[in-house]
Amino acid sequence: MADDYLVRIGKLIRDARQHRGWTQTQLAEALATSQSAVNRIERGNQNISLEMIARIGEALDSEIVSLGYSGPMHLRVVGGRRLSGSIDVKTSKNACVALLCASLLNKGRTVLRRVARIEEVYRLLEVLNSIGVRTRWINDGMDLEIAPPAHLDMEAIDADAARRTRSIIMFLGPLLHRLRQFKLPYAGGCDLGTRTIEPHMIALRRFGLDITATEGLYHAQVDRSIAPDRPIVLTERGDTVTENALLAAARHDGVTVIRNASSNYMVQDLCFFLEALGVRVDGIGTTTLTVHGVPAIDVDVDYSPSEDPVEAMSLLAAAVVTESELTIRRVPIEFL
């Protein structure tokens, strides 16, 4: 009987391989070994060296095992210093990624101000560029301009970049209005039917989106004759599932009521952006959102995402505990 630790390692390797969308044969080719050897490793029926684990992790671009220091860690904090000066709060990463996905709703030009320059934003830009969306940094790299093509080339999608961000799942809401069928790589390693994905599927089925999952891809079919005929009650009060439902409702030609919605700041930011696109949203900041959709959106929009409340609170706390006088600019309105 295989040792428990080999079984656990094998499961980690299998999950990482499936997340990348590879077959056992493809992984075997990358490792210069046989498919049967990979099969034995994933079943926990073969001893595996640290060197082989490292090679597998490199091939799959995934840290299979994390080795860290298990002893005590000591931190020395030297405080008692007053702070002075002024600082700008950066824009919210969570708001920016939702707005990048929402730009797919618009046939016109979108400009987002002071976009967070982080890896998740870069990954989404790689995906957008690969399907034909033109993006460029303007105003000394502070702002982002987004111009969609007339037709999206989903066959050319950068699958590696897509699989490295969970936010790719929020492409489903906008794409169901632009395409009758398309394929999208798995989002951030989550398999269809898990807690983080199934609430999206339940909500988006109400807009005619049918999903099957095979070989690392969501295969989407859209039936435009299906539309919400009663309120959508989200099975999870999550930020991204609420945002996906909003994105689907934005171009639905009718009124959509979304209940058990997240009222978090990034959801509010998306609502304000949709209003800038001409979509009316009632109930912003509550758990019931009423979306008055418009079937076509073709406007030039200039929008400033909200500031990051976590960063703002960190700066406020730093001022308080050091009894300092700081000027913190662009503090989110809910803190005032």
Active site residues: 190
How many whole angstroms separate alpha carbon 134 and alpha carbon 150? 11
Letter string b/e over residues 192-220, b meaning 16 or more CB atoms within 10 A of that residue's CB: eeeebbbbbbbbbebbbbebeeeebbbeb
Return the amino acid letter for 212: T
Which residues 6+ apart lie within 8 Å of 319 measured at CB? Answer: 83, 325, 326, 328
H or E segment at 290?
strand 288-292
- CA 309 to chain centroid: 19
C-alpha distances (whole Å) from 87 to each of 80, 144, 159, 242 are: 20, 22, 38, 32
How many whole angstroms separate alpha carbon 39 and alpha carbon 36? 5
